[in-house]
Amino acid sequence: MDGGIEAARAWVLEHLKTALADPSSVKVVNYKSELQTLIQQTARDRSFVEYNLVERTGPDHEPMFTVEAVYGGKVIGFGSGTNRKDAEQLAAKMAYEKAIDN
């Protein structure tokens, strides 16, 4: 930031050149889908993960959503984001990473 716009541009281009050269190299993970698939592969039932809005804060033009991922009556992940969809993805990511680490 202290180097000015040209230094910032050079840094961004350097760090994103692979993605810019080959957009297919960038993998976008849908953690909600990955988590549900993992659960269905390991669970005996066909239960689903529920995403509950815990809190919405901030002004209307800049909200912040906090969501919990719940499975089997237990909170398995939390996430916060500027929209509910992003918060759900982050909650699913936390739950997914905890599940594969165990």
Would you say residue 85 lies in a domain?
yes
> What is the pTM for the complete model shown?
0.73
Would you say residue 8 lies in a domain?
no
pLDDT in tens, the chain (102 residues): 577 888 888 887 787 777 767 766 667 789 999 999 999 888 777 789 999 999 999 999 999 999 999 999 999 999 999 999 999 999 999 999 998 887
Note the pLDDT of residue 59: 94
Note the pLDDT of residue 47: 83
Would you say residue 35 lies in a domain?
yes
Domain housing 88: 28-101
Note the pLDDT of residue 13: 78
- Give the CATH number, domain containing residue 32: 3.30.160.20
Would you say residue 16 lies in a domain?
no
Would you say residue 64 lies in a domain?
yes
Overall domain count for the chain: 1
Q: Rounded to whole angstroms, what are the CA distances from 87 to 16, 27, 30, 56, 91? A: 25, 19, 12, 11, 6
Rounded to the nearest 5 percent, the helix, strand and coil shares of the chain are 50, 25, 25
Would you say residue 79 lies in a domain?
yes
Note the pLDDT of residue 1: 54
